[in-house]
Amino acid sequence: MNGKLRNIGPKSAAWLRQVGLRSREDLAAIGAAAAFVKVRRAGFKPSLNLLYSLEGALLDCHWQEVPEARRSELSRVVEDALAALPPPRGRPAAAPVHVTHHEEAAMPAPSLFDDERGTTSEG
């Protein structure tokens, strides 16, 4: 990001630059929810605090001052947008994990002898 935005630290600013959002104007043009989705789709793993921080940056207030109703609305918009997108290319959608437990067969005790002649492995 060019210029310092309120609520946006160096890591978040780097993520935004990497998805092509380099100024407050860029962020304002697409909005907090779309910017958050771009960051997620780029493979980063931001928490919802980034979403609220982006909205706070646009409103020029601390992210905790974003009204709860607006936070809920933003969360729903992001959830819907992410659900509507296809899975990332090159990675299959995750399937449910099934755990199979196998009982181990009783193993015979190790023999002191290597072969039928009765010689030990040492001699």
The reply to whether 51 falls in a domain is yes
Q: Which helix (H) or strand (E) holds 11?
A: helix 10-18
Residue 36, domain extent: 10-84
CATH of the domain at 61: 1.10.150.20
Pairwise CA distance, residues 56 & 114, whole Å:
74
What is the count of structural domains for the chain? 1
Percent of the chain clearing pLDDT 90 (strictly above): 63
The reply to whether 2 falls in a domain is no
Over residues 24-68, the pLDDT tens digits come to: 999 999 999 999 999 999 999 999 999 999 999 999 999 999 999
The reply to whether 14 falls in a domain is yes
**Helix segments in 42-86, DSSP class H:** 48-59, 68-84
The reply to whether 40 falls in a domain is yes
pTM for this one?
A: 0.68
Pairwise CA distance, residues 1 & 12, whole Å:
9
What is the dihedral sign for C-alpha 20, 4, 35, 38?
positive
